[in-house]
Structure 1
Amino acid sequence: MAVLRCFSPDRPVLGVVEIAEEIGLHKSSVSRMMSTLEAEDLVEQDPISKKYRLGLGLLSVTGSLLAHLDVRRAAVPVLTALSAETGETSSLMLWDGNASVTVEQVPSSHPVKHSSELGTRYSTVESSSVRIFLANMDEAERRAFLKRNSGAQMYGRLAAGDVDGTAANIGQTTADEIGVSAGVHDHRGNLIAAILISAPRYRVDDERVTHLRDACRAAAASLTQRLGGTPAV
């Protein structure tokens, strides 16, 4: 384990001598360990430089963890930080096949706030989190949803205003509320959740909407990283 922890994004390729110096063992001992790790596909050796990098065999070890990682647990510190930064309610939304569902929430500290019960479902295209999920569906699935919910024309108009991976609902569902959402991806790049910021409309002007978009996008990127994914550039 000490050998494997020597590798990092900043140091993806290492030689036996470098590893031996870092973990405090003789290079002959490290060389034997590297041979064992290579046999298990946990590291691979460059045939020219003879240095090592992490191997694809690690995916068989980490894949199960990444696939079953509790997104709610991972989201709590991200939502807490987001609410502290923006002063507004932040929520984690999951897709149940026909609606965006609130599964975790950190309410605003303001006396006047917008929040919802856990389990609240949103299924209209006016909802920002719904559009995040719709944008990542294949065309057939999206068309079927829009047909069921009679939202094709409205979706086209609203989606045109969704920018840089975020969607905004400026009073479309409730006149006195705004919502801003961004998508969360897993280690395979699949959309698995959305982060939603909800706020009273009276304290959010155009400049504030831009700030909430940026904050929501950054929070979604942070949660994506916590889940082993790579945020969209």
Structure 2
Amino acid sequence: MILTTFGQQRSTMSSPRNSVVHNVVDVLRCFSSEKPLVGVTEIAEQVGLHKSSVSRLLATLESEGWVEQDPATRRYQLGLGLIAIAGPLLANLNVRQVAYPYLHELADATKETAVLAVWEGSVSVTVEQIASDRTVKHTSPLGARYASTGSATVQIFLAEMSKETVTVLLDQDTIELQQGWTRSELQKRLEAVRRQGYATNLQETFDDEVGIAAPVYDHRRKVVAAVLIAAPSYRIDDQATQALIDQCVATAAMISTRMGNPDSQ
């Protein structure tokens, strides 16, 4: 089975790292779907701590089940104990509960991966995913964070913000301007997203990826989430792209209706 992770993840580390809690967070962010197994030396280099300090932190995290050591490689990976921490949060995300059956229907209809993302401060975060049952697929693991303007879900959320807010996020380097884009081009892109009601990532972040996203609105007509279809680019031509756009927009509208949005009823 071939699994690839959709989009580009980014860990934001803008706050001072001067406490044990911050160090723990930095260590946990060293693990990703692209690199699930990480050694002590690698972590120490990435977070800027001595190996002995990292070893002590990992020992504590292992005792809580937050990380596990692979006996063969002696490297570490995230443990199931984290699910107990994240579970209550995910369970209380109302839009996630509402969207779940519709994501299943979308994945079944398109045979591609269906994703739900929310905006968290300055990044788009995956909170639900129904992976394609095809052997070759693109996925967006729970908790994956996207900060590139090339990401379809990031475009959805930015399109609902003022031009000034987007400028501040770019100036603070909390979102990343897609390589090859200018700020003027980004604004034109966001205007198109607002006008057409969907965003695309047609091999813009990676050559082998296609992403289609549409906004989910609540009863206040506020964007509270984005529905994403993630697919390998080799099987998506112009006709398939339009079909995915139609299906993604329709699914987002159904979820919006369930969320009480009067404009989608």
TM-score normalized by structure 1?
0.67
> Are 1:217 and 2:249 an aligned pair?
yes
Verify the 8 A CA contact 1:221 1:231 in the aligned structure 2: no
Corresponding residue for residue 233 of structure 2: 201
SS where residue 134 of structure 1 aligns? helix
Identity of aligned residues (%): 40
- Equivalent residue runs for 1:147-186 within 5 Å: 147=171, 148=173, 149=175, 151=177, 152-156=183-187, 158-159=189-190, 162=193, 164-186=196-218
Deviation at 1:146, TM superposition (A): 2.7
Is 1:96 aligned to 2:120, yes or no? yes
How far is the alpha carbon of 1:158 from its aligned partner? 3.9
The alignment partner of 1:114 has SS state of strand
Distance 1:89 1:107 in 2: 4
Q: Aligned ranges for residues 45-194 of structure 1 at < 5 Å?
A: 70-147=94-171, 148=173, 149=175, 151=177, 152-156=183-187, 158-159=189-190, 162=193, 164-194=196-226
Q: Which has the higher contact order (CA 8 A, sep 6+)?
A: 2
Q: Give, in whole Å, the separation in 2 of the partners of 1:219 and 1:112.
A: 23
After TM superposition, give the deviation of residue 140 of structure 1 in Å: 1.9
Q: Per-residue deviation at 1:79? A: 0.2
Say which is worse superposed, 152-161 or 223-232, in terms of deviation. Answer: 152-161
Q: Is the Cα contact below 8 Å between 2:124 and 2:145 reproduced in 1?
A: yes
Instruction: Quote the Cα distance in structure 2 between the aligned partners of 1:106 and 1:176.
Output: 20
Query: For residues 31-77 of structure 1, what are the alpha-carbon distances to aligned partners after superposition, in whole Å with 9 as ceiling and x for unaligned?
Result: xxxxxxxxxxxxxxxxxxxxxxxxxxxxxxxxxxxxx8711111110
1:205 corresponds to which letter in structure 2? Answer: D
TM-score, normalized by length of structure 2? 0.59
Q: Structure 1 residues 189 and 172 mapped into 2: Cα distance closer, same or farther (>3 Å)?
A: same
Q: How many residues align?
A: 166
- The aligned counterpart of 1:63 is none
> Could you give the per-residue CA deviations for residues 148-207 of structure 1, whole angstroms, max 9, x where no partner exists?
245224524644664620000001111100000000000111110000100000000011
- Cα gap change, 1:157 to 1:136, in 2 (>3 Å): closer
Task: Please list every run of 5 or more consecutive structure 1 residues that lacks an aligned counterpart in the other structure.
Answer: 1-67
Structure 1 residues 207 and 143: alpha-carbon distance in aligned structure 2, compared to 1, 3 A threshold: same
Q: Give, in whole Å, the separation in 2 of the partners of 1:231 and 1:197.
A: 23
- Secondary structure, in 3 states, of the residue corresponding to 2:139? coil
Question: CA RMSD, aligned part only?
Answer: 1.9
2: CA distance, partners of 1:113 / 1:214:
20
Give me the whole-angstrom Cα distance separating, in 2, the residues matched to 1:157 and 1:225.
Answer: 28
Q: Contact between 1:91 and 1:197, CA under 8 Å: does it hold in 2?
A: yes
